Amino acid sequence: MKYKTFARSEEEVSLLGFGCWGIGKSMWIGAEDTESKKALHIAIEKGITLFDTALAYGDGHSEKLVGEVEKESGKQIFVATKIPPKNGKWPAPDSAALDEAFPADYIIEKTEQSLKNLKRDYLDLQQFHVWNDKWTDHDEWKEAVMKLKRDGKVRYFGISINDHQPCNGIEAGKTGLIDCYQVIFNIFDQSPR
């Protein structure tokens, strides 16, 4: 397994990650939990340390499985999860206000819910599941991110970039509060380049 330094840290994570959308038991076909847990265990045994989940994947079901398998394995993994927009809109419409998608109390509440699902004291990476850069100048999200980091509940914070909008999030990154971005980048879509 190859490893890479994560963002601005000195921590190494596996270059290959395990995407956990399909183990949420909804949205996609949804695997059986026994198969999902088996796959997670094999991934950990093979050296994968980066696991990407989200509160929206099966309404926390994916997070719960990741948390169970981490405990069962006895190994520490790097868990990335995401806060769904309160208004349930993917991608974030240009007309949406920040308080419709990510009010401060909601950011904190959903982070606490993910911690409970994962049975962890902290998240390695918490991300906004959608974003609109026009929200950058609002202090509410910044205060919530700083509080979660200060309280030791989130180590790093990021943005899962809206589909095919690789420039959305650049302004938020200039605040210094965003440690990383998750973007669609593959052989078919290389627009983030």
Active site residues: 57
DSSP strands (E only) in 84-185: 123-128, 154-160, 180-182
CB 169 within 8 A of CB 147: no
Annotate 104-118 with three-state secondary structure: HHHHHHHHHHHHHHH
How far lies 45's CA from each of 38, 49, 51, 72, in Å?
11, 9, 13, 12
Rounded CA gap, 133 and 151, in Å? 26
Helix H or strand E encompassing 38: helix 33-45
Beta bridge partners of 160: 182
DSSP summary character for residue 89: -
